[in-house]
Amino acid sequence: MPHTLLREKVWARITARTIEVFHRGNRVAAHMRSSSDRRHTTVREHMPSSHRRYADWTPERIRRQAGEIGRNTAALIETILRERSHPEQGFRAAVGIIRLVKSLAATGWRQPAAGRWKSARAPSLPSIRS
């Protein structure tokens, strides 16, 4: 369903093979039902642009980039991805941390300081920045 209809009242027609979504009598989405059990099947065009930016990222790509920075960054990113019910929910935080660490490294910041996230209750970008 298009993100522009978030919090709008819609009507859905669901059959064994298709899902159709209607808003004010107009069909706004029609898709074949997914055979993948309980997995996200978001259509890229229905995402807000801020989410589309991360659609090409994979957990493996994020882990690889974090590993290239250092073991503390890799451990932090692994924790973030593991704690989410869907790893994709941690992409934005993970990419933000990778960018922050890379920008800090350019100023002479050293990787061992990244270990301070371990003392934070909930590892996040704000807890790393502080």
pLDDT digits (tens, 9 = 90+) for 22-38: 999 999 988 888 776 66
Which phi and psi angles does 17 have, rounded to 5°?
-115, -20
Taking the alpha carbons at both ends of the chain, their separation in whole angstroms is 38
Residue 20 carries which side chain, given as an amino acid letter?
A: E
CB–CB of 96/125 below 8 Å?
yes
CA gap 30, 90 in Å, rounded:
28
Predicted confidence (pLDDT) per residue in 77-121, tens digit: 898 888 887 777 888 888 888 888 888 777 766 655 455 555 555
Q: What pTM, to 2 d.p., does this model score?
A: 0.52
